[in-house]
Amino acid sequence: MRRRAPRLPIQIVGSLRGRAERDVVVLDLSLTGCLVRCGAPLDKGAILDLALRLDPDPFAAKVRVTGASLDGSSLAGEPPQYLTGLAFMGLPAREEARLRRFLQEERRRRSADASHQ
């Protein structure tokens, strides 16, 4: 299946809030959703609130869990970690514009960093 938007590998700390709040790390980000790592499995189809910082401002979005699996890179002896796909649900135009700008600037910055190495 082809993705609707290119993903940007990244590491941003955030949180998911439903009945409980969970800390997450965003591992990749696109205009349509993201992949997060968290310490608990999340139910497919669950609707949650995602909060994170997009330099320097807070970003908030309603998300739907599209899938979750045990992170195979979790270290033995440590609590398990789960990889969870999240789809953005109807981002307001202002938030979508901020996300688009953040992704473009981050790609441009990485391209410039790579050309200086």
Question: pLDDT digits over 66-93, tens only?
Answer: 999 988 776 666 788 999 999 999 899 9
User: What is the reported pTM?
Assistant: 0.88
Looking at the domain assignment, is residue 1 inside a domain? no
List the CATH number of the domain containing 51: 2.40.10.220
The alpha-helical segments, DSSP class H, found in the chain are 93-115
The predicted-structure confidence for 51-61, as pLDDT tens digits, reads as follows: 999 878 899 99
Q: Helix, strand, or coil here: 28?
A: strand
What residue numbers bound the domain in which 99 lies? 8-115
Provide the pLDDT for residue 117.
61
